[in-house]
Chain A
Amino acid sequence: MSINEKIPNVATKPDEAPMTKQAAALAVEAKREDIAVEEGKTVGLPYSDNPKFKLRNVEVFYGEERAIKNISLDIARNEVISFIGPSGCGKSTFLRCLNRMNDSIDICQVKGQLLLDDVDIYHSKRDVVELRARIGMVFQKPNPFPKSIYDNVAYGPRIHGLANRKSDLDEIVENSLRKAGLWNEVKDRLDATATGMSGGQQQRLCIARAIAVSPEVILMDEPCSALDPIATAKVEELIAEMSESYTIVIVTHSMQQAARVSHRTAYFHLGHLVEVNETDKVFTSPEHELTESYITGRFG
């Protein structure tokens, strides 16, 4: 792919049927053809003085296909950064590079420099288990283990040997559930199976499970996409509280959510990192044309 390549059409959603809208969409398509993304060039503030993650010239290949194209970005300590962008723009792929979740996909190849506290994440001798103990992850669909609520939270500390005594483990479980704002709802039924909880509770349980191993970073891959507005509000509240002690990277489809919870926002487009800036700035005065047309809802 050449540097000044034209952006291919983004497929319009099938439910956007009415004629007039289609015409409008076509007009936007035509306009977007003209907007070019310069590879490896990100407008705004991609770098930080106090980086937790230092990511330079990151490229991800799925076989022959280049899913992430030369992205450089710093993620600061204790900041909440959100990744936004249209479907298939590579934001989830990029997120999953940070704790090497792509390792299990055979054809996936990651190139470039990815440093966590100045140590290479993809070094051949780097232990993935240790890395993932430091970087927790919350997934799109709540995925509690089909075990009791207690066992769900206690699983991480158990396999990492964080608690030697039952009382220590109890304490970790209670603290994690408290931090996830779930303690009062479940303290009387810790032995109940986790799959019987509501979707929002399950997702907060997954967050509790992630923070039970006291990670430094929490990666969230569209954590609220399967939740109703009330559960979403609770999770967002939780993110705000957690930002004091953790670095949080959140991928979201909801621009409002990005605006509500994050300090900085990164806009991805077809594998490029187009713009990174203070969240206010991205949503009020985006520097790049593509960012502007995305946040004003003209495509995506």
Chain B
Amino acid sequence: MTDQRSQADIVRRSLKKRYRKEKRFRAYGVLAVSIALGALVILFADIIGKGWTGFIKTTITLEVMLDGDSMYLDDPTDADQRAMADFSAPIIAALQKQLPEVLEAGELRQLNRLVGSYGSNDIRDLLRAQPELLNTSQTLTFLASDAVSVYVKHSDNPSYSIRLSEQQQHWVDQLLAKGVIETKFNNVFFTSGDSREPSNAGILGALVGSLLTLIVTLAIAFPVGVAAAIYLEEFAPQNKFTDFIEVNINNLAAVPSIIFGLLGLAVIINTFGMPRSVPVVGGLVLALMTLPTIIISSRAAIKSVPPSIREAAEGIGASKMQVVLHHVLPLAMPGMLTGSIIGMAQALGETAPLLLIGMVAFIVDVPDGFFSAATVLPVQIYLWASSAEQGFIELASAGIMILLTFLISMNALAIWLRKRLERRW
């Protein structure tokens, strides 16, 4: 009896200790999760705080007299005349009308810097498309220059330096008050490719490039990866050779991605003579990089199909192929898809291998096919982040937001697919 009592005491005493330990352990866990979440919050706050202005553009709306004399132009359909004409003259004239106190020639040149450098191109393109507008008066909206845009959006942010003279700032303030300079939703960002001028630069080119590249990657990596996984898991004999292959697939998953870029450069571009900077080559390289991920996750998915299902099908007299196609594959599909989408998400965020195959070039046009020069989202972000103009800072952050949105929606798709296809057994 006494023995039992003392034993109970010992247990009770140790219990207290155990609970303390448990509590401490739980606290560590909570701490770890908070650190991770905190880091995430800081990251998002920083990116969104820096990038949201990327979705805003600064415009200058002017009543422009398209005066042929001042532009030295009397026939807008003549290419030679267009090449010689001075399309910025009407803009300066229109600005001067808004700011009557500007009279000197030097000041007029300063005035011209308010409108982005592509403003005169806008007038040229308008006149080429509609020659009948010559010598008429039109209300046109121009993108403000980078300096004006930075001044309007970030005049109270010390990390930006204002590159406008006192006088120019005074003019901008006046124009803002008049409603000539406005800030609007930046549709340019979503509808155009890269540009030297931050106000004219957009993400669409990179987005389409990423999409085309990923299509190539998926079209190659998914069928090859799944087929390899099925063969290795279901048909391959268990011997040293298959062991060797398995080890190497696992090794391949750990190879630094830039090596795949070198491989693409040496084999796909130099040996097979494919063009540089195109989504097909990028897709091929990324497919090689994604293959191990897909093979490993597909094998795991196949392994997790309960053997009882396999036995049931074999017991009825299904052939090996029928067992695989009718039973194993449908049950393994959710796992395979999840693995593939995670692999795709990895490929989407990959930069290093693409630098080596020339997808880092400055490409203005939105790619229109698998063989047209393109860049991809992360490379575009890299390019903007390393640009000198201040306007690119916010564009880089905005680009990161687009990339993250893309990634999150891909992961959401993976989760949805898994929920949708998953069957209980």
Contacts and interface: CB of A to CB of B under 8 A. Distances in A.
Contacts of A160: 317
A179 interface: no
A132 interface: yes
Interface of B: 237-238, 306, 308-309, 311-319, 322, 326-327, 331, 423-425
Dominant SS at the B interface?
helix
B311 A143 contact: yes
B319 A129 contact: yes
A146 B424 CA distance: 7
A136 B425 contact: no
Contacts of A130: 317
A130 B318 CA distance: 9
Contacts of A209: 312, 316
A106 B311 contact: no
Q: Name which of B308, B309, B313, B316 has the most chain A CB atoms within 10 A of its CB.
A: B316
B318 A159 contact: yes
Given A129-B318, A137-B311, A139-B311, 10 more contacts: A106-B237, A129-B317, A130-B317, A131-B317, A136-B315, A146-B425, A155-B318, A209-B312, A210-B315, A210-B316
A146 B331 contact: yes
Contact of A155 (B306, B316, B331, B423): B316
A159 B312 contact: no
A129 B314 CA distance: 8
Contacts of B306: 143
A106 B423 CA distance: 30
Nearest to B315: A137
A216 B326 CA distance: 25
Nearest to A144: B312
B404 to A, nearest CB: 36
A213 B331 CA distance: 24
A132 B317 contact: yes
Given A106-B238, A195-B424, A101 B316 contact: no
A-B complex: 4 closest residue pairs judged by Cβ atoms: A132-B317, A137-B315, A143-B308, A133-B317
A162 to B, nearest CB: 11
B317 A159 contact: yes
A145 interface: yes
A160 B317 CA distance: 8
A284 interface: no
Nearest to A133: B317
Contacts of B311: 101, 137, 139, 143
Contacts of A156: 316-317
Interface string A140-163: 010111100000000110011000
B311 to A, nearest CB: 6
A130 to B, nearest CB: 7
A104 interface: yes
A206 interface: yes
A247 interface: no
Nearest to B424: A195
Contact of B312 (A104, A131, A139, A195): A139
A72 interface: no
Interface in A119-142: 128-133, 136-139, 141
Nearest to B310: A104
A99 interface: yes
A159 B314 contact: no
Nearest to B237: A106
A104 B238 contact: no
Nearest to A206: B312
B220 to A, nearest CB: 31
Contact of B313 (A99, A141, A145): A145
Contacts of A106: 237-238
A141 B308 contact: yes
12 contacts: A104-B314, A132-B314, A132-B317, A138-B315, A145-B312, A146-B424, A155-B326, A156-B316, A159-B326, A195-B425, A206-B312, A213-B316
A147 B316 CA distance: 15
Given A129-B317, A130-B317, A146 B423 contact: yes
A101 B322 contact: no
A121 to B, nearest CB: 14
B233 to A, nearest CB: 13
Given A129-B319, A132-B315, A145 B308 contact: no
